[in-house]
Amino acid sequence: MSSEKTNQSWGGRFSEPVDAFVARFTASVDFDKRLYRHDILGSQAHARMLTQAAVLSEAERDAIVAGLDEIRREIEAGTFEWRVDLEDVHMNIEARLTERLGVVGKKLHTGRSRNDQVATDIRLWLRDEIDAILVELNRLQAGLLQLAETEADTIMPGFTHLQTAQPVTFGHHLLAWFEMLSRDHERLVDCRKRVNRMPLGSAALAGTTYPIQRQVTCELLGFEAIGGNSLDGVSDRDFAIEFCAAASLAMMHLSRFSEELVLWTSAQFQFIDLPDRFCTGSSIMPQKKNPDVPELVRGKTGRVFGALTGLLTLMKGQPLAYNKDNQEDKEPLFDAADTLRDSLRAFADMVPAIKPKREIMREAARRGFSTATDLADYLVRKGLPFRDCHEIVGHAVKYGVDSGKDLAEMSLDELRRFSDQIEQDVFAVLTLEGSVNARDHIGGTAPAQVRAAVKRGRELLAKR
């Protein structure tokens, strides 16, 4: 069964209309209509440039710009009719403009193609999305700094292999996430530079015969540079792949953070409490308080990884220049940006409200011989080789396991069974406070260093 309508932007070559199913199958308007604002911005800049190039008159330019403004208002008011037979956001807007302006509306597409038009729209859209994502990322980092400063003295166990390793401060642990997010910020800012290059003017693939002035359009749209090759301009999707790679790394970090929050809220850890507004209950078990926000962020990470893999696979076999395959770039890109922004927003709201259970954290740090390395370092300062000290402390730990005593709970006589170099001053080393305070260097867990790192972090955020 054939459709009754033919897309008049290209219908002259065809002797019959597109099949109705094919029209629906190949249309992208259901998802690319979210580009409407950027499509209109690009078209208005293009019209202004065509006027400077003497292709359009000033009156025609003004009619087009005003007509596009009115169409934007129609879309935002929900009165605009989106037609599948017009395939995409570009032709829907152009058709409506032609309805309003007649022949003048048909002149807008002079000197461009949907190929460079869509490439421009996506870059404009992604540029704005990155800016919005960076706002949420900064907000999350500010929340981490706030909580880290408050908990600079709170002692908890640090882990390797999820086994108790050494005592750290909760503030220090939170600042590890700040560092990860700082790298994510750097990647997104750097990615934005390559997003912000203008393909408009590449036309279908070879450029155009009209006397266009690409620098004018570039400046009007706020691009930093003009694409240097028309073939690459219409077919490049590296910027989308790069964004999804940066987004994947950021989501991986949030997923690791989520995993710790899920563990810490469990009855087995009980290190923190999340406010009720970030949790849900069970339909059958009345005692349950489930950390749904971090669990869901952990799960949504797979969507962004999938977007990255999908875009890499989409592009790997394409010859130059534009191919219809590229219609499939938008949904994964849209989803990756939405998921990252929403996940960061959820965390930015939640993190400052985390309530640590300080006594439980401290008691957990007392278990698992977390000051064993401190005892070894103590013996090194007495002049013994580190490997010998390691063995001595290993024997002391074995004794502690057998006797059920932590190192700090052993008497001096018990400790001296393993080395006669151990004196009364050892107990200052074996305390949790002594352990964390001893690591008083840049990047260390000492409370003074945590506060210094918070100060540096705030200075970093202020410069952005």
Helix residue ranges per DSSP H, 281-329: 292-315
Confidence at residue 11, expressed as pLDDT on a 0 to 100 scale: 60
pLDDT (mean) for 19-26 = 86
At 271, the amino acid letter reads F
Largest CA-CA distance found in the chain, in angstroms, rounded: 100
| Contacts of 378 by beta carbon, 8 Å cutoff, 6+ apart | 422, 426, 429
If DSSP codes are grouped into helix, strand and coil, which group holds residue 397?
Answer: helix
- The domains found in the chain, sorted by start residue, are 19-110 (1.10.275.10), 115-362 (1.20.200.10), 365-451 (1.10.40.30)
CB–CB of 367/427 below 8 Å? no
Residue 373 has pLDDT above 60, yes or no: yes
| 356-366 pLDDT tens trace | 999 999 999 99
CB–CB of 367/406 below 8 Å? yes
> Percentage of the chain with pLDDT > 90?
90
Catalytic residue among 15, 161, 411, 441: 161
Confidence at residue 3, expressed as pLDDT on a 0 to 100 scale: 42
Active site residue 282: yes
Pair type for strands 197-198 and 225-226: parallel
> Percentage of the chain with pLDDT > 70?
97
Residue 70 has pLDDT above 80, yes or no: yes
| 168-196 pLDDT tens trace | 999 999 999 999 999 999 999 999 999 99
Residue-by-residue DSSP string for 320-369 = SS--GGGGGGHHHHHHHHHHHHHHHHHHHHHGGG-EE-HHHHHHHHHSS-
Q: Cα separations (Å) of 426 from 142, 220, 373, 381, 435?
A: 39, 70, 12, 11, 11
How far apart are the C-alpha atoms of 229 and 103, rounded to whole Å?
32
pLDDT band at 12 (very low <50, low <70, confident <90, very high): low
Q: Looking at 11-20, 214-223, 386-395, which range is the least confident one?
A: 11-20
At 180, the amino acid letter reads M
pLDDT (mean) for 92-113 = 97
pLDDT (mean) for 224-251 = 98
Residue 398 has pLDDT above 80, yes or no: yes
pLDDT band at 10 (very low <50, low <70, confident <90, very high): low
Q: Looking at 19-23, 243-247, 304-308, 338-342, which range is the least confident one?
A: 19-23
Catalytic residue among 2, 266, 282, 403: 282
Active site residue 370: no
Mean of pLDDT over the chain: 95
Q: Cα separations (Å) of 360 from 154, 264, 267, 271, 272?
A: 11, 11, 11, 6, 9
- pTM here is 0.93
| 403-420 pLDDT tens trace | 999 898 999 999 999 999
How long, in residues, is the chain? 464
